Amino acid sequence: MTYLLLALGFLTAATAVAVVARAAAARRTGPRPAGWRAVVLATVALLLLTAVFDTVMIASGLFAYSDAHISGLRLGLAPIEDFAYPLAAVILLPALWTYLGSRRDR
């Protein structure tokens, strides 16, 4: 199995949970604004941090990727597959935040 397939599975699962959580929250409390500016800023920050710190960790020899298991696309030294996990977090966490709501909503 390649890292790309693993990352796509992870993104698919995160997206499915996010869709269900958003739909459930909308039924319970009505639609809420998504706060897209915050989501975009968080996405940019997480992807930038991933690029910088993955490159530093790979360059220092903390870990390495077998070329047989990655797509070959890289940002810095970080394979593109590494960016799926922060992207999944940005997809999943706002949906769960909306679904769980605040204590006042309960």
pLDDT score, position 77: 92
Closest CA to 42 of 81, 92, 8: 92
Q: Would you kindly state where each structural domain of the chain is located, as residue ranges?
A: 3-105
pLDDT score, position 105: 56
Tokens of 103: 């204590």
pLDDT digits (tens, 9 = 90+) for 14-44: 999 989 988 887 787 776 666 778 888 999 9
User: Is 78 in contact with 58 (CB distance < 8 Å)?
Assistant: yes
Average pLDDT, the chain: 86
Integer angstrom CA distances of residue 48 from 27, 43, 62, 75, 94: 35, 8, 19, 10, 19
pLDDT score, position 104: 57
